[in-house]
């Protein structure tokens, strides 16, 4: 397998330029001795793909890829695209056994994941490429842009920010069905922001809506993972490092005695939900880092810190908390996002937590 990084192209490309860009990427990534030839089909007529890529091995074995060219493609439009590709394949001459290939201007990481799951090869004009064939055996994968170089005027393309984080938490924490206004009232969230986030998740095929726009079902685990593509614990929150000289057991005692509003997160909270190993560092959301440090009697530490105090991106981190063995912990949805974007073994703990959440949905979802 070959993984490379391609430069981002300048300017938007026509369909013909797009196809040529994908051809150039394939030619540049094929193993030595392999070759590509392209047949462009006329635009008129039925059951004609936009192109056929014929790839030949050094031993002169060949495999055909029927190509559909799209300026844009997203997970919620892929079923139609794949259906067209399957029709082309079904109409191919017997014995040719072609494979499906989608060429696009830009394919998001999730779109690429869905295509790979469906067994469809792909390429975009930024250099993202995946070519898979059984006979002759071929696997080539290359990485291009991770973000769209030509973002359109669609309402929302990122889940970064205070309002979107609150909206994601609401969409995950509350069971559908629900309408936007209903959810906004229950979660004290902006209806406008909720609507935009729901639209983004709909385009990413992470939820389903009815004809009136009400949310019927949510892939909450996929939504958390999508959020963590734009959210990261340390960058999204104001975090400062401190030292509790007597260790985390003493910190726990102080928290039991204090009136401080806090919510534990990270490995420290994960110990109470889906433990893997003892936490070495405690992370706490607080309203004011300086005031909390004074109340807990801890001192700043550039090295050897065992306590992180964080002023949150939004007070939503204090919503739907739970008491676990006397420790106030963030909601599992927030904990999962913080773990998955944390250091060391925390991402593994985040994956473990997601499994726990799947098995205990009634325990945390309203």
What gap in Å lies between CA 75 and CA 201, rounded to an integer?
Answer: 10
Angle between the 162-173 and 180-187 helix axes, to the nearest 10 degrees?
100
Residue identified by tokens 């945390």 is 364
Of 227, 252, 282, the domain-final residue: 227
Burial class of residue 337 in the structure, from the number of CB atoms within 10 Å of its CB (0-12 exposed, 13-18 middle, 19+ buried): buried
Q: What is the pLDDT of residue 96?
A: 79
- CA count, 13 A, side-chain hemisphere, 66: 21
Q: Which of 210, 227, 244 is the last residue of a domain?
A: 227
* pLDDT at res. 154: 52
The residue length of the chain stands at 366
Q: Can you give the CATH number for the domain in which 86 is found?
A: 3.40.1350
Q: What is the sign, positive or negative, of the torsion defined by CA atoms of 286, 288, 291, 297?
A: positive
Parent domain of 269? 233-364
Q: What are phi and psi of 109, to 5 degrees?
A: -55, -45
Last residue of a domain, one of 174, 200, 227: 227
The Cα–Cα gap between 335 and 275 comes to 13
pLDDT of residue 10: 44
219 and 117 within one domain: no
Q: Are residues 115 and 200 in the same domain?
A: no
Q: Supply 310's token pair.
A: 């964080």
CATH code, 170: 1.10.10.10
- Please check whether residues 211 and 332 belong to one and the same domain: no
* Three-state DSSP class for residue 231: coil
Q: In whole angstroms, what is the distance from residue 99 CA to residue 180 CA?
A: 41
221 and 250 fall within a common domain: no
Examine the domain organization and report whether 282 and 300 are in the same domain: yes
Whether residue 203 sits in one domain with residue 245: no
pLDDT of residue 360: 95
Asked whether residue 9 is assigned to any structural domain, the reply reads: no
Residues of the chain predicted below pLDDT 50: 1-11, 42-45
**Inside any domain, residue 358:** yes
Match 């079902």 to its residue by tokens: 217
The token pair at 242 is 């401190």
- Residue 289 confidence (pLDDT): 94
The answer as to whether 137 is a domain residue is yes
How many other C-beta atoms lie within 10 A of the C-beta of residue 362?
Answer: 7
CA 5 to chain CA centroid, Å, is: 20
Give the H or E element holding residue 283: strand 282-286
* Tokens matching residue 130: 């995946």
Residue 157 domain-assigned (yes or no):
no
**In a domain? residue 156:** no
- Residue 93 falls within a domain, yes or no? yes
In a domain, 19, yes or no: yes
Claim to verify: residue 186 and residue 304 sit in the same structural domain: no
User: Quick one: 287 and 308 in the same domain?
Assistant: yes
* The predicted structure's pLDDT at residue 312: 94
CATH code for the domain of 275: 3.30.460
Q: Are 245 and 333 within one domain?
A: yes
On whether both 182 and 254 belong to a single domain, the answer is no
Q: For position 43, what pLDDT does the model report?
A: 46
Residues 75 and 103 in one domain: yes
Q: Flag whether 152 is in a domain.
A: no
Same domain, 246 and 358: yes
Mention every residue, 6+ apart, whose C-beta is less than 8 A from residue 108. Answer: 74, 148, 204
Counting the structural domains of the chain, the total is 3
What is the 3-class SS of 168-224, one letter each residue?
HHHHHHCCCCECHHHHHHHHCCCHHHHHHHHHHHHHCCCEEECCCCCEEEECHHHHH
């Amino acid at each position: 397998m070959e993984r490379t990084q391609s430069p981002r192209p300048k300017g938007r490309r026509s369909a013909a330029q797009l196809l040529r860009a994908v051809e150039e990427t394939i030619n540049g990534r094929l193993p030595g001795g392999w070759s590509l030839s392209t047949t462009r089909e006329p635009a008129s007529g039925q059951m004609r793909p936009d192109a056929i890529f014929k790839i030949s091995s050094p031993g002169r074995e060949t495999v055909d890829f029927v190509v559909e060219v799209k300026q844009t493609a997203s997970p919620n439009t892929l079923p139609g695209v794949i259906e067209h590709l399957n029709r082309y394949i079904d109409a191919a001459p017997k014995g040719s056994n072609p494979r499906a290939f989608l060429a696009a201007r830009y394919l998001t990481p999730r779109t690429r994941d869905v295509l790979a799951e469906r067994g469809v090869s792909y390429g975009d004009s930024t250099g993202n490429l995946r070519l898979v064939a059984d006979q002759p055996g071929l696997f080539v994968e290359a990485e291009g842009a991770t973000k769209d170089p030509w973002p359109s005027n669609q309402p929302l393309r990122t889940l970064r920010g205070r309002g979107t984080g609150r909206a994601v938490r609401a969409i995950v924490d509350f069971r559908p069905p629900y309408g936007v206004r209903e959810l906004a009232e229950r979660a004290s969230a902006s209806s406008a922001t909720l609507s935009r986030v729901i639209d983004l998740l709909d385009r990413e095929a992470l939820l389903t809506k009815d004809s009136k726009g009400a949310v019927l079902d949510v892939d909450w685990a996929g939504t958390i993972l999508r959020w963590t593509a734009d959210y990261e614990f340390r960058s999204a929150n104001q975090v400062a490092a401190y030292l509790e000289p007597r260790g985390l057991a003493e910190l726990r005692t102080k928290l039991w005695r204090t009136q401080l509003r806090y919510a534990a997160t990270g490995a420290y909270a994960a110990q109470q939900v889906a433990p893997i190993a003892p936490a070495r560092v405690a992370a706490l959301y607080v309203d004011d880092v300086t005031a909390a440090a004074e109340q807990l009697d801890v001192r700043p530490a550039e090295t050897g810190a065992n306590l992180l105090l964080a002023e949150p991106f939004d007070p939503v981190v204090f919503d739907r908390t739970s008491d676990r063995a006397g420790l106030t912990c963030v909601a599992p949805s927030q904990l999962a996002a913080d773990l998955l974007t944390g250091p060391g073994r925390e991402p593994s703990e985040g994956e473990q937590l997601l499994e726990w959440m799947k098995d205990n949905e009634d325990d945390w979802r309203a």
